[in-house]
Amino acid sequence: MSIAITTQFICFTILSLVVIIGALGVVLLESIVYSAFLLGGVFMSVAGLYLLLNASFVAAAQVLVYVGAVNVLIIFAIMLVNKKEDLKPINDIKSRRIISTSICLTLLSLLIRVDLTNVWSLSSPQNSIGEESTIRIGEHLFSDYLLPFEVASVLLLMAMIGAIVLARRDVMSKDISTGLPVDQELIEKSSEPLLTNKN
Amino acid sequence: MMNLESIPIQAFLIVSSALFCIGIWGLLNSRNAVRVLMSIELMLNAVNINLMAFSSYIDNNLIQGQVFTIFVITVAAAEAAVGLAILLSLYRNRVTVDMESFNLLKW
């Protein structure tokens, strides 16, 4: 990395602040649409952190897969299921919040303690591969990680078929058991219109 | 001003720890099922930052951590697709995305 160290520090500070504040916004904001767009910002900043770590290929993959595919998929899902509804109140919500927050804070303090107290055996930056990392990833994928690479392709195929099977509607015109015509109307349409603005 | 030649690895690890804990908090406390999926994505990203930091600071010649990050990204994409498909079919059956009303498998 040929950037000056102060520039690296400034970039790291800005990116990590965006990551943490954006993640807090994702879990805390009331509107789910704002959460989805903030999630895109978090993914972009994580890609920036990867660039600081000399990993241009993984940063590009992060932007392509997370921002380009996962985030767009989440926004589409929000458009399909975004019905304003009054949630039923839970009676012991306060104790749940207290317990889960204390568990998360305890875990965070433990993790930070491990991060700070452990002595990491850092390797010298002289033999760093630097900008050649894409070539090295390709070598790994086609030699010692060949089996996981092939299994990942099978996994993606299974996920694609599974998502199609799970999300499609039943399009047969007759019910198999009774022989009666199937009600082809959209469930959402028959119950309540989508995207009603109640408040 | 500290006299360092690079960002310490602990900074990356702390950012990833905080991101992971925020993800767990959102996973436990969200009522909306889409937000639960987003929290899972946050946790996977925290793991990815960790892998990338170790790959860059400890294993900077072989960079096996970057290969693992590629695999995690693959699995995350598959998980998001299947998770949102399950969410859509749940929404067709229940006409809600409230996590508290999904008790189909409750004993």
Contact list in A for residue B92 (CB cut-off 8 A) is 169, 187-188
* Per-residue pLDDT, B11: 94
Contact list in B for residue A166 (CB cut-off 8 A) is 82, 85-86, 88-89
> Got the DSSP string for chain A?
--S-HHHHHHHHHHHHHHHHHHHHHHHH-S-HHHHHHHHHHHHHHHHHHHHHTT-HHHHHHHIIIIIIIIHHHHHHHHHHH-----PPPPTTHHHHHHHHHHHHHHHHHHHHHHHHHS---PPPGGG--GGGHHHHHHHHHHTTTHHHHHHHHHHHHHHHHHHHHHHSPP--SB-TTT-PBP--S-HHHHH--TT----
> Got the DSSP string for B3-59?
--SS--HHHHHHHHHHHHHHHHHHHHH--BHHHHHHHHHHHHHHHHHHHHHHHHHTS
* Per-residue pLDDT, A193: 47
Structure tokens at B57: 């600071």
Structure tokens at B79: 């998980």
A33-68 per-position pLDDT tens digit: 999 999 999 999 999 999 999 899 999 999 999 999
DSSP code of residue B62: T
Q: Do A81 and B56 touch (CB under 8 A)?
A: no
Q: What is the pTM of this model?
A: 0.87
Q: Do A23 and B92 touch (CB under 8 A)?
A: no
A150-199 per-position pLDDT tens digit: 999 999 999 999 999 888 865 566 666 677 776 655 554 454 444 555 54
> What's the rounded Cα separation, in Å, for the pair A19 and A59?
15
Q: Which residue type sits at A76?
A: F
Residues 1-60 of B with CB under 8 A from A: 4-7, 9-15, 17-26, 28-35, 37-39, 41-42, 45, 48-49, 52-53, 55-60
